């Protein structure tokens, strides 16, 4: 890791430390939401940015983690931590099985297939009322406990959310730096070339899909135990589009950039809530503008600004 990266991480850590110390419940809540969105954004960055596979249905895995963990705690009587882990395993199994089907497709066919999966999952949440509570959702989800203390407040949940987010980012960075990361980038550049070198391209795409689903499910499980209530509304296609915007704003193939994108979308999303369901259109417009004007996302813009003083001195 370069000195500039370490400096950026130190600045991020100091900034995060200042948020709970500020005493602002609103800022603390926003920072927690950024962390909970950052986890699925990192997973989607591995799939889309590094492996070049499109997914417009990743909200389904976020919802599967949330509902799975909630149901195991409420109906099964499982410890919340165990329920969260089992929900992530279920999401991984679902992703592996679905990967056998959808990765027979490429390009826009793959995008439409993942979109269809997301829609099916959202409809199932609404219609399977005996399990999900339908539109009314599931209340009374117990909080997670750390060292015997329930993380039932923003100040107690804040370090838990960001610890999970940082661990997820570091694991993703290690994966990218490993030989598997080189194989992922090879698939992104050319699947035929990667296959000609003896790699099992289909298996690699399924494995990355599983990893990205686990990231989303863990984020969803944490969300459920943080809010204490889940309903179908947050897990629709709109959230999948927001995740893509997060990854695009972060620069696609950029793990830490995914957190930048999550922060951007979360902060911009606050005023856009006044638009109701039309906020999806606004995020779609943001995605188009980023892809046209700044394909490298905000990290590219920061690099341009960073270079200019050096160029002027030169």
Residues sharing a CB contact under 8 Å with residue 51, sequence separation 6 or more, in sequence order: 184, 185, 187, 188, 204, 205, 208
Specify burial of residue 242 (Cβ count, 10 A radius: 0-12, 13-18, 19+): buried
Q: Exposed (0-12), middle (13-18) or buried (19+): which is 293, by Cβ within 10 Å?
A: exposed
The string of pLDDT tens digits covering residues 216-271 is: 999 999 999 999 999 998 899 889 988 998 998 888 888 888 998 899 888 887 77
Nearest-angstrom CA–CA distance, 284 and 179: 35
Cα–Cα nearest to 55, from 1, 12, 98, 10: 98
Residue ranges per domain, the chain?
Answer: 25-234
Per-residue H/E/C for the chain:
CCHHHHHHHHHHHHHHHHHHHCCCHHHHHHHHHHHHHHHHHHHHHHHHHHCCCCCCCCHHHHHHHHHHHHHHHHCCCCCHHHHHHHHHHHHHHHHHHHHHHHCCCCHHHHHHHHHHHHHHHHHHHHHCHHHHCHHHCEECCCCCEECCEECCCHHHHHHHHHHHHHHHHHHHHHHHHCHHHHHHHHHHHCHHHHHHCCCCHHHHHHHHHHHHHHHHHHHHHHHHHHHCEECCHHHCHHHHHHHHHHHHHCCCCCHHHHHHHHHHHHHHHHHHHHHHHHHHHHHHHHHHHHHHHCCCHHHHHHHHHHHHHHHHHC
Q: At what angle do helices 255-272 and 3-21 cross, to 10 degrees?
A: 40
Measured between alpha carbons, how far is 161 from 290 in angstroms, rounded to an integer? 28
Q: Global pTM?
A: 0.89
**Which of the residues in the chain have pLDDT under 70?**
1-11, 277, 300-314
Q: How many other CB atoms are there within 10 angstroms of residue 313's CB atom?
A: 6
Cβ-based neighbours of 18, under 8 Å, separated by 6 or more: none
Provide the phi-psi class of 147: left if phi over 0, else alpha when psi is between -120 and 50, else beta. left
Q: What is the pLDDT of residue 2?
A: 56
**CA dihedral of 68, 70, 74, 75, whole degrees rounded to 10:** -10
């Amino acid at each position: 890791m370069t000195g500039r990266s370490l400096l950026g991480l130190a600045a991020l850590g100091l900034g995060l430390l200042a948020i709970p110390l500020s005493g602002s419940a609103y800022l603390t809540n926003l920072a927690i939401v950024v962390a909970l969105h950052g986890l699925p954004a990192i997973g989607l960055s591995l799939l889309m940015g590094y492996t070049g596979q499109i997914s417009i249905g990743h909200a389904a895995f976020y919802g599967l983690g949330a509902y799975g963990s909630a149901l195991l705690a409420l109906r099964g009587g499982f410890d919340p931590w165990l329920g969260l882990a089992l929900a992530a395993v279920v999401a991984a199994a679902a992703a592996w099985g679905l990967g056998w089907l959808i990765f027979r497709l490429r390009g826009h066919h793959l995008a439409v297939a993942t979109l269809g999966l997301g829609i099916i999952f959202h409809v199932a949440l609404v219609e399977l009322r005996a399990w999900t509570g339908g539109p009314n959702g599931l209340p009374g989800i117990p909080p997670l406990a750390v060292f015997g203390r329930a993380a039932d407040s923003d100040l107690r949940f804040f370090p838990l959310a960001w610890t999970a987010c940082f661990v997820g980012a570091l694991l993703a960075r290690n994966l990218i730096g490993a030989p598997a990361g080189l194989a992922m980038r090879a698939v992104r550049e050319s699947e035929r070339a990667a296959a000609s070198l003896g790699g099992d391209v289909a298996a690699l795409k399924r494995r990355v899909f599983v990893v990205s689903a686990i990231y989303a499910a863990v984020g969803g499980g944490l969300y459920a135990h943080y809010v204490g209530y889940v309903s179908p509304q947050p897990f629709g296609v709109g959230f999948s589009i927001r995740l893509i915007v997060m990854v695009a704003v972060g620069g696609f193939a950029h793990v830490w950039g995914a957190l930048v994108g999550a922060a951007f979308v979360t902060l911009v999303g606050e005023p856009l809530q006044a638009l109701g369901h039309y906020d999806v259109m606004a995020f779609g417009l943001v995605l188009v503008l980023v892809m046209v004007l700044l394909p490298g996302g905000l990290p590219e813009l920061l690099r341009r600004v960073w270079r200019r003083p050096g160029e002027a001195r030169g």
